[in-house]
């Protein structure tokens, strides 16, 4: 299966278990790996034969920046289901959501959840 990979989309959202996180917000990174056939688009050079990654970026932006979830797992799940519902050409996808600076008193670069979903 062919893949379209959109890496490190950066957004500002209001997600977290703690009220302060949902109030102040934080930066989030989203990675998408879309599985779909790219043959026809490659052979015809026709945008209608693939998915428009600019549109996907705006879909994800709307989810990250306009909704609020306690868990980044729920955020990732919502992104996955929205992409599959909106883009029928996508057969499966992997979504990674990174919160680079969680508000914990421990030192690490961030936390990422990654999930893979397929069309039912």
Provide φ and ψ at 112, rounded to 5°: -125, 135
Write out the residue range of the structural domain in which residue 7 sits.
3-118
Catalytic residue, candidates 49, 70, 99, 120: 99
Catalytic (active site) residue 23: no
| Residue 104 confidence (pLDDT) | 67
| Residue 65 confidence (pLDDT) | 98
- At 69 the three-state DSSP class reads coil
pTM: 0.93
CB 6 within 8 A of CB 55: no
Q: What is the CA radius of gyration of the chain?
A: 15
**Domains contained in the chain, number:** 1
| Residue 30 confidence (pLDDT) | 98
The CATH number linked to 90 is 3.30.1130.10
CB 110 within 8 A of CB 99: yes
- Collect contacts of 51-57 with beta carbons under 8 A, ≥24 apart: 51/4, 51/87, 51/89, 51/90, 53/4, 53/6, 56/6, 56/32, 56/83, 56/87, 57/6, 57/9
For the chain, 120 residues long, give each residue's pLDDT as a single digit of tens: 899 999 999 999 999 998 888 999 999 999 999 999 999 999 999 999 999 999 999 999 999 999 999 999 999 999 999 999 999 999 999 999 999 987 767 777 788 999 999 997
């Amino acid at each position: 299966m062919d893949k379209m990979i959109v890496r490190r989309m950066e957004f500002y959202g209001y997600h977290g278990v703690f009220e302060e996180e949902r109030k102040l917000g934080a930066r989030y990174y989203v990675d998408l790996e879309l599985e779909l056939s790219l043959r026809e688009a490659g052979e015809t050079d026709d945008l209608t034969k693939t998915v428009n990654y600019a549109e996907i970026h705006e879909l994800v932006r709307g989810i990250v920046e306009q909704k609020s979830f306690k868990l980044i797992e729920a955020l990732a799940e919502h992104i996955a289901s929205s992409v599959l519902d909106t883009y029928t050409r996508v057969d499966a996808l992997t979504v990674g959501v990174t919160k680079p600076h969680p508000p914990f008193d421990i030192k690490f670069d961030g936390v990422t959840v990654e999930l893979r979903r397929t069309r039912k």
